[in-house]
Structure 1
Amino acid sequence: MTPTEARTYTVQAFRDSGLWVIEVPEIDAVGQARTLASAADTARTLIALWLDVDPETISVEMDYSRIDPDALTLMNQARADQARAEAINSEAAKTWRQAARRLVRDDHLSLRDAAIVLGVSYGRVQQLVS
């Protein structure tokens, strides 16, 4: 491996006896970290020492699949729900803009009157039509 060539290793992280255990199956190495926040750096150092290379040439991808599978399932569901909610929110914003523009441009309502109809502030209608 040349000095500029980076290699990515998958690192499994899980709790055991109050510490985070980090395993790197590709090189059959195991280490520990006090916090999950430090686990990736600890793994990089472990791999670099094991392979006798510069830690800067090591990239790690953390694998949390050995943590509570039900919690991971819930996390994935929450991410999917959040993505759907963001899509719905984006569509709602588009619809608000269309409604405001129709009231002001097509129906010739003042911004203040459109605000009353839409149930939003005058300033919000200004934002929606601009």
Structure 2
Amino acid sequence: MGTYTARARREGRWWMIEVPEIDGLTQARRLGDVEEMARELIAVTLDVPLDDVAVAVAVTAVGDVDVAEALSKIRDERAEAARLERQASAEARELARELASAELAMRDIGSILGVSHQRVAQLLASS
């Protein structure tokens, strides 16, 4: 049995839960209860054991806030930040190697790169 999606949105004091795979709806008081309520709905609807039901919760909206869209943007930005961090690290390693080959002391290289001399040693040792 696959994993079902539980789309949760806040309406007033309740979390409304939609499980599109079974065209089912339920509700919960707290976000922490959404997964269990969705699992129970699926188990009862499909007449399967509760332990056989896996659910992935996706918060879609809280009032007028489009949580899903905001989270998608945040995930994209974090991925881009990670990519840029990897690129900057590679460039720092390359510059450290170039400066070391010019016979600069590790402390001087560290001052140039804005890192400790210990970090320079790590950069030079990494491949």
Q: Tell me which interval the TM-score lies in, with the shorter structure as reference length.
A: 0.7 to 0.9
Indicate the residue corresponding to 2:45 in structure 1: 50
Give the match's secondary structure for 2:31: coil
CA contact 1:19–1:35 (8 Å) conserved in 2: yes
Indicate the residue corresponding to 2:87 in structure 1: 91
CA 1:117–1:33 in 2, change beyond 3 Å: closer, same or farther?
A: same
* Stretches of structure 1 lacking an aligned partner (at least 5 in a row): 1-5
Deviation at 1:71, TM superposition (A): 4.1
Indicate the residue corresponding to 1:3 in structure 2: none
Residue type at the aligned position of 1:50: T
* Stretches of structure 2 lacking an aligned partner (at least 5 in a row): none
Residue type at the aligned position of 2:24: A
Residue type at the aligned position of 2:40: T
Match 2:28 to one of 3, 27, 33: 33
More helix by proportion, 1 or 2?
A: 2
CA 1:74–1:66 in 2, change beyond 3 Å: closer, same or farther?
A: closer
Equivalent positions of 1:97-112 (< 5 A) are 97-104=93-100, 106-112=101-107
Residue type at the aligned position of 2:26: G
Q: How many residue pairs align between the two structures? A: 124
CA contact 1:12–1:66 (8 Å) conserved in 2: no
Could you state the TM-score of these two structures normalised by the residue count of structure 2?
0.79
How many percent identity over aligned positions?
38
CA RMSD of aligned residues (A): 2.2
CA distance in 2, matches of 1:74, 1:51: 33
Indicate the residue corresponding to 1:13 in structure 2: 8
CA distance in 1, matches of 2:114, 2:61: 49
CA 1:17–1:58 in 2, change beyond 3 Å: closer, same or farther?
A: same
Cα deviation digits, residues 20-76 of structure 1 (max 9, x gap): 121234434322212222211221112112332111211223344455464433322
